Structure formats: structure tokens, C-alpha cells
């Protein structure tokens, strides 16, 4: 196929990369071809698969003139090299990337291409949707960036651009990439997007941002083989993330977009640091020690201003790591790293009354909590959910926080039960906080208590996993949206079979999420209970289900 890349026709080459993904690669390719005539060609690069992916792609290409298949003779070990192969072969004025286990939603290319042409943009970006499978629940990636259409002449004036490190939700001028020799790191390089995106931003492109959904990122956490970025159980993954981030920062600091390098460091503290800190209690002592040491070394390379520019929860965690040579206070670390952040007691002060992380680490100041707006305070709410034959009771205990809670005057808490699959609120309750001895004062244990019954029989008719969302309301008119810390103890967080008028029997399990938040799973009826038992048995004997 002889196509001139310098042609003025606004058309796109979609580069699809895959390795041993015969189960999904055809869907990815078809989603690219289904974009219509704006996609002049699809280049599918098979990274030396051994599962028949290459033959499957050849079969598709035999019936589709726009599809070209590239067979690599050796496996590259990563995603960068096959994407570079695609860039080298692209023959359209614009290029974009698609992974074999993801899809492009209808209209994605037309939306990106129209904005690119209208604004003369060298890079055009849109919304990426993270879709959890098999549940189908969706989370928007960096939605604040794409709230409305915009054109950007100078990336350096928009530091939030560094928050979106993905390469797949963007359309690039092919000549822009080639003129600036912008390529992905070759070989086995995890988080290659970090480096590629930094090279793109360092070149100072004119950019267009659109609110349209342009990419569906499929997240398969139960897959037999996790993607390179999702496989976070080993310390090598964290080291790879640090290495990629360091390389990206060096690229930005060495360019005319230098402020973006400092913004990238602040984002690392707020995003990467908090994400991995939430999972520390899932790892063994050896991993924790290595993670702590390597993270401290990376943070020591940051300018003090980079840390201070990060939002408070991540900034406090960074100062804690720098102040302590060994892992400590991991339950509190996990809760502060949660979203929203929760700061568990104890609440220490220096002799002059300044809030600090602990008495033995007075250099880790929490003084910002004395003047932080109420709706941003890391308030800690303990949650206990007790299913029983007479109903399910939710008890919440709100902790005092350096006098800020008493000053605001807690009044009520709105409780929402949210289906994780689609975000639907399936039940709402409001409970009043009981005052302790004396007006506007907590009880002797430093908490205010609220309790409300939950009717799980109605949401349980659909079964699944439900998150608890809270809105704390105060007498001064302020409020704080948060979640509850799942309390562990005798009789808590256990699977319970309770009678149900609607289903006969209902299996209820309160549990703690990875970030420590209280959530609940339900399985209605005898069939639901049997399904849970089968899945549990399958895990015990090493089998997997897809239901």
C-alpha cells in the first residue's frame, strides 16, 4: 500500500501491539477498523507470540486491506519496541496507539482528528476510561484535565499535563514525532509511557484536549498473567516505576519545559507514593524494607519545593519516610495514603502544642491541620458493620482531630451504599452523632458515635460488592466526604449467612479494601451462597473462574 505520509488528508494510523493475547487482539484490531475511513491503516505488531496471535492477525489481514501485520522475529520484552516499529512504518499524517487487550470506543478517532485539525495541534488528547473486568465498573482517568475542550500553546503553562502519563489516549502528528526523534524506550522497560510522554512534552507541542471518551483501558486483575504495570507484588515493579519517573524528570528538567519536571515530582508524591503505600501491608518484611529504602533514596533527590508542592497526605508520607530509616506505623501510613485520606490516632503534639506525626518524630509536622479547610481534613471514622438475623447495624465512630472536629460541631452523617459495578447508590441513610459528656465534646475515648440500620436485602437482589460513602455534616455548615476505616476484631469482617424474606438466605461479608475502607459483599439466595463456596474452593485448589 503506497500512501504518502506528507499528504494533507487528515487520516490516522492506529498501531496495535500484542504479545500472546490471542483472546483479545482481534477485538482491539476490529475496534480500530470500526472507526471508519479516518483510519487509513492499522498496523498490528505481533511481538513474537507463541499462542497463535500472529496467525489470527494474518487471517484478519487477508480480508482487510487497511490492516498490515508486522511479525517480530524475537520478543522485545516490553511495549516500547513494537510501538517504535509501528511509528517507523506509519504512513498517515497522524498516529495513535492501542494495546491488544483494550479497545477504541466508537467515534474516538473522529473526535480526536477533528480537534487536531481545528486547532492545528501536534498532540490531541481525550478521556481514557479504566474498565474493571469482569464487573464492568468504570473510572475516568484524570477527568479534571478533560472537563472541557481546550487548546494549549505552551505545555509549560499547564503543569497538570504531567498527571496524564498515558500514551494511548492521544493522537500525534507523525511528522512531530519524527522531527523530534520521539520514541519509546526499547526492550523490557516497564512504564515506558512515562518516558515517552516526557519526551513529547519536552518538545513543547501545541495541544488540544477534548472531553470525549477516546480509549477504553481494560483492567483484568484476575487474569492468569497480569500486565506489566499491574504486577506490583515484587519490588522490581516499584524500582521500575522509580527509574521511569527519574528518567522522565531528567528529560523535562533538561528542556524548555523545566517547571513540568518539578510538577512531575509533586505528582509522584501524591499519586505513585500513595498508591504503593496503601499496599505495604500486603507485602512481606523484605519487600517493605526494600521499598522504604529505595523510596527514601528517590525522595532525597527531590528539591524541598517539590515536596511542599504536593498535596498534604502525600507530602506528610514523604516527610515520614525521609525522617525514618526503617518502616514504621504501617497501619497509619496505609490509612493516610487512602483516598480520601484518613489520619488514625494517636494525635501527638510537641510541648508548644504543634501537631506532629509522633512524639519521637517531631520533625514530621502536622501543623497544617490547624488551618486546613474542614472539607479537606483527613478525618478518621471507624466503621463496624454487624449483620444479623434481626438486621444489619452500622456503627460509626468519628475521632477528634486536634480540636478541629469539636470546633466544627459534628451533627449528622449521611451514609450511601454504592454498587461498585456501576456507581449506583442503592441505599441512603442519615444518622445523628451522639454528643459526649458536655456540649460539642466527644466521649471519653475521643469519638462521636452514630449508628443506623442498613437493609441489605434490597441491594443484595443484584449481589456484588458495595462501598460505603460518608458525608459528615457539622453545625458550622461545613461537611467532609470520606469513607470509614474498617475495624478489625472479634465477630467483625466475617462472612455471615442471615435469613432474608426476599431470598430465603443472604450471605453477607463486611471486609476491608486494600486502602482499609469498609465495604460489603453480598450473595443472595442458595445459588448465590453456593457460587461463593465454589469460587472459594477453586481458589484453595488453584483453579480460576470467570464468573
Q: Is residue 547 a contact partner of residue 134, using CB atoms and an 8 Å limit?
A: yes
Q: How confident is the model at residue 539 (pLDDT cuts 50, 70, 90)?
A: very low
The DSSP bridge partners found for residue 431 are 413
Top-confidence residue, 321 or 134: 321
In angstroms, the Cα distances linking 517 to 81, 384, 470 are 40, 11, 11
Of the two residues 439 and 200, the one the predictor is more confident about is 200
Q: Give how far the C-alpha of residue 202 lies from the chain's centroid of Cα atoms, to the nearest Å.
A: 25
- Please tell me the predicted confidence (pLDDT) of residue 440: 60
Asked if residue 540 has pLDDT above 80, the reply is no
* In the predicted structure, residue 354 carries a pLDDT above the cut 60: yes
Q: pLDDT tens digit string along 275-301? A: 999 999 889 999 999 999 999 999 999
What are the DSSP calls for 218-263, one per residue?
A: EE-TT-SS--TTT--SSHHHHHHHHHHHHHHHHHHHTSTTHHHHHH
Per-residue pLDDT of 423-466, as tens digits, reads: 889 999 999 998 643 346 677 778 999 999 998 877 656 688 99
* Residue 488 cell numbers, joined: 478489625
Which pLDDT score is estimated for 445?
Answer: 74
**pLDDT at 10 exceeding the cut of 60:** yes
Tell me the three cell numbers of residue 543: 483453579
> What is the rounded distance in angstroms from the CA atom of residue 538 to the CA atom of residue 535?
5
Q: Which of 332, 92, 77, 111 is nearest to 212 (CA)?
A: 111
Q: What does the pLDDT read at residue 460? A: 55
Quick one: pLDDT band at residue 535, thresholds 50, 70, 90? Answer: very low
Complete DSSP assignment for 91-120: -SSEEEEEETT-BPPTTHHHHHHHHHHHHT
- Can you spell out the DSSP letters for 199-215? HHHHT---EEEEEEEEE
- pLDDT tens, position by position, 87-118: 999 999 999 999 999 999 999 999 999 999 99
Q: If pLDDT is split at 50, 70 and 90, which confidence band does 133 have?
A: confident
524 or 404, higher pLDDT: 404
In this prediction, residue 471 carries a pLDDT of: 97
Assign 3-class secondary structure to 264-290: HHHHHHHCHHHHHHCCHHHCCHHHHHH
Tens-place pLDDT, residues 37-65:
999 999 999 999 999 999 999 999 999 99
Q: pTM to 2 decimals? A: 0.88
Quick one: pLDDT at residue 2?
39
Closest among 337, 303, 331 to 317, alpha carbons compared: 337
Classify the phi-psi angles of 329: left when phi > 0, otherwise alpha if psi is within -120 to 50, otherwise beta.
left
Q: pLDDT tens digits, residue range 241-287?
A: 999 999 999 999 999 999 999 999 999 999 999 999 999 988 999 99
Question: 497-529: per-residue pLDDT in tens?
Answer: 887 777 678 889 999 998 899 999 998 866 555
- Tens-place pLDDT, residues 149-159: 999 999 999 99
- Distinct helix (H) and strand (E) counts, the chain: 15, 23
Residues 179 and 235: beta-carbon distance below 8 Å: no
Q: What confidence category does residue 543 fall into, taking pLDDT thresholds of 50, 70 and 90? A: very low
Question: So what's the pLDDT on residue 1?
Answer: 37
What does the alpha-carbon distance between residue 416 and residue 422 come to, in Å, rounded to a whole number?
Answer: 14
Geometric angle at alpha carbon 122, from 188 and 201, rounded to 5°: 50
Beta bridge partners, 394, equal 385, 452
Amino acid at each position: 500500500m503506497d500512501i504518502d505520509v506528507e499528504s494533507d488528508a487528515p487520516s490516522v494510523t492506529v498501531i496495535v501491539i500484542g504479545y500472546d493475547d490471542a483472546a483479545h487482539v482481534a477485538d482491539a484490531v476490529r475496534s480500530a477498523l470500526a472507526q471508519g475511513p479516518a483510519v487509513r491503516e492499522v498496523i498490528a505488531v505481533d511481538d513474537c507470540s507463541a499462542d497463535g496471535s500472529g496467525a489470527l492477525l494474518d487471517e484478519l489481514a487477508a480480508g482487510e486491506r487497511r490492516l498490515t501485520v508486522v511479525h517480530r522475529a524475537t520478543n522485545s520484552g516490553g511495549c516500547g519496541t513494537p510501538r517504535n516499529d509501528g511509528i517507523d512504518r506509519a504512513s498517515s499524517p497522524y498516529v495513535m496507539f492501542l494495546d491488544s487487550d483494550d479497545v477504541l470506543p466508537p467515534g474516538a478517532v473522529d473526535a480526536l482528528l477533528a480537534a487536531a485539525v481545528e486547532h492545528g495541534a501536534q498532540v490531541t488528547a481525550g478521556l481514557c476510561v479504566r474498565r474493571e473486568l469482569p464487573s464492568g465498573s468504570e473510572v475516568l482517568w484524570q477527568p479534571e484535565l478533560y472537563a472541557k475542550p481546550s487548546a494549549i500553546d505552551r505545555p509549560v503553562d499547564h503543569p497538570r499535563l504531567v498527571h496524564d502519563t498515558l500514551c494511548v489516549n492521544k493522537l500525534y502528528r507523525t511528522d512531530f514525532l519524527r522531527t523530534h526523534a520521539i520514541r519509546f524506550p526499547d526492550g523490557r522497560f516497564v512504564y515506558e509511557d512515562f518516558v515517552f510522554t516526557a519526551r513529547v512534552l519536552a518538545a513543547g507541542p501545541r495541544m488540544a484536549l477534548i472531553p470525549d471518551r477516546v480509549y477504553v483501558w481494560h483492567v483484568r486483575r484476575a487474569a492468569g498473567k497480569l500486565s506489566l504495570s499491574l504486577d506490583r507484588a515484587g519490588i522490581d515493579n516499584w524500582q521500575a516505576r522509580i527509574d521511569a519517573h527519574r528518567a522522565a524528570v531528567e528529560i523535562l528538567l533538561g528542556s524548555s519545559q523545566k517547571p513540568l519536571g518539578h510538577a512531575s515530582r509533586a505528582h509522584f508524591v501524591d499519586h505513585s507514593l500513595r498508591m504503593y503505600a496503601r499496599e505495604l501491608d500486603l507485602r512481606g518484611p523484605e519487600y517493605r524494607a526494600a521499598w522504604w529504602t529505595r523510596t527514601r533514596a528517590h525522595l532525597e533527590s527531590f528539591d524541598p519545593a517539590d515536596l511542599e508542592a504536593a498535596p498534604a497526605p502525600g507530602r506528610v508520607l514523604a516527610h515520614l519516610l525521609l525522617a525514618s530509616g526503617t518502616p514504621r506505623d504501617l497501619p497509619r501510613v496505609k490509612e493516610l495514603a487512602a483516598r480520601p485520606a484518613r489520619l488514625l490516632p494517636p494525635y501527638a503534639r510537641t510541648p508548644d502544642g504543634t501537631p506532629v506525626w509522633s512524639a519521637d518524630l517531631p520533625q514530621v509536622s502536622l501543623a497544617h491541620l490547624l488551618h486546613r479547610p474542614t472539607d479537606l481534613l483527613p478525618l478518621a471514622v471507624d466503621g463496624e458493620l454487624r449483620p444479623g438475623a434481626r438486621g444489619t447495624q452500622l456503627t460509626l465512630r468519628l475521632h477528634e482531630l486536634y480540636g478541629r472536629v469539636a470546633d466544627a460541631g459534628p451533627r449528622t452523617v449521611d451514609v450511601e451504599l454504592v454498587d461498585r459495578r456501576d456507581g449506583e447508590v442503592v441505599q441512603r441513610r442519615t444518622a445523628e452523632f451522639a454528643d459526649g459528656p458536655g456540649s460539642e465534646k466527644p466521649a471519653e475515648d475521643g469519638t462521636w458515635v452514630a449508628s443506623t440500620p442498613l437493609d441489605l436485602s434490597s441491594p443484595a437482589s443484584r449481589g456484588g460488592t458495595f462501598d460505603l460513602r460518608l458525608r459528615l455534616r457539622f453545625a458550622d455548615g461545613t461537611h467532609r466526604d470520606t469513607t470509614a476505616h474498617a475495624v478489625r476484631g472479634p465477630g467483625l469482617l466475617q462472612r455471615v449467612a442471615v435469613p432474608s424474606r426476599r431470598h430465603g438466605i443472604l450471605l453477607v461479608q463486611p471486609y476491608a479494601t486494600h486502602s482499609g475502607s469498609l465495604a460489603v459483599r453480598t450473595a443472595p439466595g442458595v445459588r448465590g451462597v453456593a457460587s461463593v463456596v465454589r469460587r472459594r474452593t477453586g481458589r484453595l485448589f488453584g483453579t480460576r473462574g470467570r464468573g
